[in-house]
């Protein structure tokens, strides 16, 4: 079942991942950042907090691709792929959420910030609600998938649900937060991706950071996939 030529068993991209993360942690703290009074040094969180969401988005995309691949081939291998990539996507989503909580406490959700009124304003923050809904939908995916005992039924139902969950990501984290007033930056376009609000120096660290964190997520996911493939092999014996 396990193909030795599979990318999971290659090490070049794991080495790339380590190198990119070393670059992120060193140059991320050294690079000259634009002097913004509201952010100061916290702009460097671009390489950590924002990268978490990029990694989450990529992992959920890989997950939905594998769900579709399962529905096309009915090969249970792809069901395992889809489930493990979604699980690591959730992990990165939770990390993005908690790092965002720390960042906002000292920037826009700060009682010293004149545009911030109260905890109520925080509870109404569309981006936070949207991201929470998106994560809860994926929690539901895990609960749904792991509650069905029949292998084929489980794979089929969860693959279909995965496609719906992925479709719900777009309104909850990309569309609705942009239609409503928000304290969170990135109202007018793609935050961190457009050329207006990122200087070339920041971009030099930003892109390696995004790729490095995403590769780390893929790495953890492939380890889990390999464990599960082994488990299945053991059970078949």
Smallest gap from Cβ 105 to other proteins, in A, equals: 4
Smallest distance, Å, CB 166 to other proteins? Answer: 19
Among the residues of 106-150, which ranges form H helices?
Answer: 119-123, 126-147
Q: Which is nearer to other proteins, 69 or 232 (CB)?
A: 232
Q: Is 52 helix (H, G, I), strand (E, B) or coil?
A: helix
Beta carbons of 127 and 184 less than 8 angstroms apart: yes
With a CB cutoff of 8 Å and minimum separation 6, the contacts of 226 are 2, 8
Nearer to other proteins, 179 or 223 (CB): 223
Of 26 and 73, CB closest to other proteins:
26
Contacts of 179 (CB under 8 A, 6+ apart): 126
Q: Where does this chain bind other proteins (CB under 8 A)?
A: 25, 29, 39-42, 44-45, 48-49, 52, 91, 94-95, 97-99, 101-107, 109, 111-112, 119, 122, 132, 142-143, 146, 216, 220, 223-224, 227, 231
Smallest distance, Å, CB 101 to other proteins? 4
**Closest to 56 in 3D by CA, of 16, 20, 85:** 85
CA angle 172, 174, 178 (to 5 degrees): 100
Q: C-beta of 78: minimal distance to other proteins in Å?
A: 20
Residue placing its CB nearer to other proteins in the complex, 40 or 188: 40
């Amino acid at each position: 079942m396990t193909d030795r030529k599979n990318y999971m068993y290659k090490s070049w991209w794991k080495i790339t991942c380590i190198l990119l993360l070393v670059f992120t942690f060193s140059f991320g703290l050294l690079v000259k950042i634009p002097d913004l009074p509201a952010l100061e040094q916290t702009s460097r969180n671009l390489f950590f907090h924002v990268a978490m969401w990029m990694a989450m988005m990529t992992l959920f995309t890989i997950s939905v691709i594998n769900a579709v691949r399962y529905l096309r081939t009915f090969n249970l291998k792809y069901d395992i792929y889809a489930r493990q990539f979604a699980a690591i996507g959730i992990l990165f989503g939770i990390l993005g959420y908690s790092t965002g909580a720390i960042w906002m406490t000292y920037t826009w959700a700060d009682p010293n910030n004149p545009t911030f009124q109260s905890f109520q304003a925080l509870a109404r923050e569309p981006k936070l609600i949207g991201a929470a809904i998106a994560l809860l939908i994926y929690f539901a995916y895990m609960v749904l998938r792991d509650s069905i005992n029949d292998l084929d039924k489980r794979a089929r139902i969860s693959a279909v649900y995965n496609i719906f969950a992925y479709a719900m990501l777009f309104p909850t984290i990309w569309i609705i937060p942009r239609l409503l007033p928000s304290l969170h930056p990135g109202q007018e376009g793609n935050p961190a991706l457009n050329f207006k609000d990122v200087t070339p120096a920041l971009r030099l660290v930003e892109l390696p950071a995004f790729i490095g964190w995403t590769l780390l997520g893929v790495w953890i996911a492939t380890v889990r996939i390999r464990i599960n493939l082994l488990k299945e092999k053991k059970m078949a014996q």
